[in-house]
Structure 1
Amino acid sequence: MSKMIFVNLPVSDLSASMAFYTALGFTNNPQFTDETAACMVWSESIYVMLLTHAKWASFTSRPLPAKGASEVMLAITCDSHASVDAMNQAAGKHGGTADVNPMQDMGFMYSRALADLDGHIWEAFWMDPAAVAGAA
């Protein structure tokens, strides 16, 4: 089995969060979706599990972070500058927050951060394939 990541996120409104992540380009895997959780797919190896607060509490007794707090920033690759911009714009258009951190353009790498409906921070970024290969 290849390595995969499942990011688990507590959400206050499961259906609204599903719509938000769909607008960002994720697809839903109904096999792992019910009234308490939704599996949103970014790639063959990256999945986001959106969990109602009650479902989240069944996995941990630790409290949810306070509103406005940052616990992690999840970085996710995009195919181009334009796709980074499109994801950021979709976040703002669909109830999230665009540009929660300053945009970064280092030439070989370009990123913009956004927050989902519950304040989870994502950094959409593009990196020049030549830089990834070590040629830049």
Structure 2
Amino acid sequence: MKFFKRLLGICETAPPNDPHAWTVSNGIVSINLARMPELNTPGSAVRLEGKDPAHRLLVFHGDDGQHHAVSNRCTHMGRRIDPIAGSKIIQCCSVSKSTFTYDGKPVGGAAKKPLQTYPVDREGDTLTITLSNDG
């Protein structure tokens, strides 16, 4: 990531191309993977924002072959998070480069608190993310 993007906190992960490929209802996020091919490849990710819930989510297809969901707000300065392709690490988009494991634990940079993680289940072409632990 280029220095000025980091300085401004601009992340590499984009919102989904099809804004109707996901819904939120009663604390459950449902993603139609047939309409969101951005999550088909390990190392890929989307950021979900602008619908209820009001907070931001990073959903990514990890290099471990599983889908993961975390709060897309670094615990250090609130910047967005990006996956680092070819690793099992996600990283803040700021100059501090706080890094976290897939389960949200900080492993480098300025962040000392873990990211909020959410359980992800896959059934066929549907990912279900449970937000109920978010309060």
TM-score of the two chains, using structure 1 as the length reference = 0.26
Question: Which entry has the higher C-alpha Rg, 1 or 2?
Answer: 1
Q: Which has the higher helix share?
A: 1
